[in-house]
Amino acid sequence: MINICNCKNDTLIMKDRNKTLGEFIIEKQEEFKYSSGELSRIINAIRLAAKVVNYKVNKAGLVDIVGAAGEQNIQGEDQQKLDVYANEVFIQTLINREIVCGIASEENDDFIAIHGKAGDDNNKYVVLMDPLDGSSNIDVNVSVGTIFSVYRRVTPMGTPVTLEDFLQPGDQQVAAGYVIYGTSTMLVYTTGHGVNGFTLNPAIGTFYLSHPNMKYSKDGKIYSVNEGNYIHFPQGVKDYIKYCQMEEGDRPYTSRYIGSLVSDFHRNMIKGGVYIYPTSSKAPNGKLRLLYECNPMAFIAEQAGGKASDGYGRIMEIQPTELHQRVPFFCGSENMVAKAEEFMAKYK
């Protein structure tokens, strides 16, 4: 017996899945608030830089790109060679396109003010990024990623950017996304109109729409936290972990933790789960950076129907006070994050 399907819907789905990232950007241009083409060009620049970094990541182990670079970043973390390389590629690609007026990177002490050839500062947007998240895992062939965030500047056009342009709360983002370099390379992003994922076809170097309208399930069965730090966690987190492990209803949940934020986030968004990097006695403010990691991931999570919190309130409402500010991070399926907040509130 032949099953009759809804051919019209199937045709639309197949048509969407054959769409390239470039075609998708052009089609959605009208959704970019205030933009007259710059935001599209920023996404295109990130696409180009991602392909360059992807090429290098896939050669890790064959060329001298693996291991420590011998220096530390502003956070006192050892920089990997690929950290330095990815940082240079993304910064230079954005500068060459002359489409942003400023860039801030997790790997740089301060922001970079960019001036056009004419010496003016008329570009509207600033980009903040973690050029290679999870780079310490590259030695063991674990997925790594790039995280980016785009804001409209708040200082007058025609003047140099200032710190004020970068210290904006996450709810002012106009775009955010990540690239995951794994078994396949994907670029996932949002401009505030849902979340879409594009997979790179390495044979022709083109990203195709493979995951349209990505969504978190309201509930999930995965919790992602470094349980090796359990003894250092606040009591609310300890209680939530015990709740996840309790045999009751649809629990116990499955514990999955990779150690690369992009990888853990990506899996949980597809399968349903919660990612937690809390404060601890070893990291009193948490470890993840608000501007380079938490805000962009929170924007994506909310656009996908998820939730992102510092354990007590919405991540994207936090007013940043410094470029490399750290915060605790609870992110994922809405009901799972809400339940974690319940446990945290008991000890507030």
Same domain? 144 vs 247: no
Contact by Cβ (8 Å): 50, 180: no
124 is in an annotated binding site: no
Antiparallel, parallel or unpaired: β 125-133 and 144-152: antiparallel
Query: Which of 36-45, 97-106, 131-140, 317-326 has maximum average pLDDT?
Result: 317-326
The pLDDT value recorded for residue 68 is 52
**Structural domain includes residue 3:** no
The pLDDT value recorded for residue 16 is 62
The pLDDT value recorded for residue 7 is 46
Strand positions, DSSP E, the chain: 68-72, 78-80, 100-105, 112-113, 125-133, 144-152, 173-181, 185-190, 195-201, 206-211, 222-224, 254-255, 273-277, 307-309, 329-332
Same domain? 244 vs 205: no
292 is in an annotated binding site: no
For residue 290, pLDDT beyond 50: yes
Q: Average pLDDT, stretch 96-123?
A: 86
**Structural domain includes residue 276:** yes
All residues at 6 or more sequence positions from 111 whose CB lies less than 8 Å from its CB, including other chains? 102, 103, 104, 126, 161, 163, 166, 323
Tell me, rounded to whole angstroms, the distance of Cα 285 from its chain centroid.
20
Among 190, 211, 232, the domain-final residue is 211
30 is in an annotated binding site: no
164 is in an annotated binding site: no
Contact by Cβ (8 Å): 126, 102: yes
For residue 248, pLDDT beyond 70: yes
Same domain? 236 vs 112: no
83 is in an annotated binding site: no
The pLDDT value recorded for residue 183 is 87
Antiparallel, parallel or unpaired: β 185-190 and 173-181: antiparallel
257 is in an annotated binding site: yes
71 or 153, which is more confident: 153
User: 332 forms bridges with which residues in the sheet?
Assistant: 274, 307
238 is in an annotated binding site: no
Q: Write the single-letter amino acid at 223.
A: Y
**How does pLDDT run across 214-241, given as a tens digit for each residue?**
999 999 999 999 999 999 999 999 999 9
> What tokens were used for 99?
């489409």
- Rounded distance, CA 191 to CA 151, Å? 11
The pLDDT value recorded for residue 5 is 43
- Rounded distance, CA 46 to CA 6, Å? 37
The pLDDT value recorded for residue 260 is 94
Strand positions, DSSP E, 8-137: 68-72, 78-80, 100-105, 112-113, 125-133
Least confidently predicted of 1-10, 27-36, 126-135, 169-178? 1-10
**Structural domain includes residue 92:** yes
Same domain? 129 vs 88: yes
Q: Average pLDDT, stretch 322-329?
A: 97
Q: Dihedral sign, CA of 250, 255, 258, 260?
A: positive
Residues of the chain above pLDDT 90, percent: 72
Tell me, rounded to whole angstroms, the distance of Cα 49 from its chain centroid.
15
**Structural domain includes residue 233:** yes
**Predicted confidence band at 329 (pLDDT cuts at 50, 70, 90)?**
very high
Other beta carbons within 10 Å of 98: 16
Q: Average pLDDT, stretch 324-346?
A: 98
Same domain? 40 vs 97: yes
Same domain? 326 vs 258: yes
Q: Average pLDDT, stretch 197-208?
A: 95
All residues at 6 or more sequence positions from 204 whose CB lies less than 8 Å from its CB, including other chains? none
263 is in an annotated binding site: no
First to last CA, the chain: 61
**How does pLDDT run across 60-104, given as a tens digit for each residue?**
654 444 545 445 555 655 566 888 899 999 999 999 988 899 999
130 is in an annotated binding site: yes
- Rounded distance, CA 21 to CA 150, Å? 18
Same domain? 200 vs 86: yes
Least confidently predicted of 3-12, 261-270, 284-293? 3-12
Domain count, the chain: 2
User: 43 forms bridges with which residues in the sheet?
Assistant: none
For residue 341, pLDDT beyond 80: yes
Other beta carbons within 10 Å of 172: 12
Same domain? 314 vs 231: yes
Contact by Cβ (8 Å): 188, 197: yes
**What CATH number is attached to the domain comprising 337?**
3.40.190.80
3-state secondary structure of 326: strand
**Structural domain includes residue 7:** no
Q: Helix 235-245 vs helix 334-345: angle between axes, to the nearest 10 degrees?
A: 130
Residues in the chain: 348
**Structural domain includes residue 171:** yes
State which residues form the domain around 262. 222-345
Contact by Cβ (8 Å): 87, 112: no
**What CATH number is attached to the domain comprising 111?**
3.30.540.10
Q: Average pLDDT, stretch 134-154?
A: 88
Same domain? 154 vs 230: no
Same domain? 109 vs 171: yes
230 is in an annotated binding site: no
281 is in an annotated binding site: no
Same domain? 44 vs 75: yes
**How does pLDDT run across 256-282, given as a tens digit for each residue?**
999 999 999 999 999 999 999 999 999
Q: What is the pTM of this model?
A: 0.90
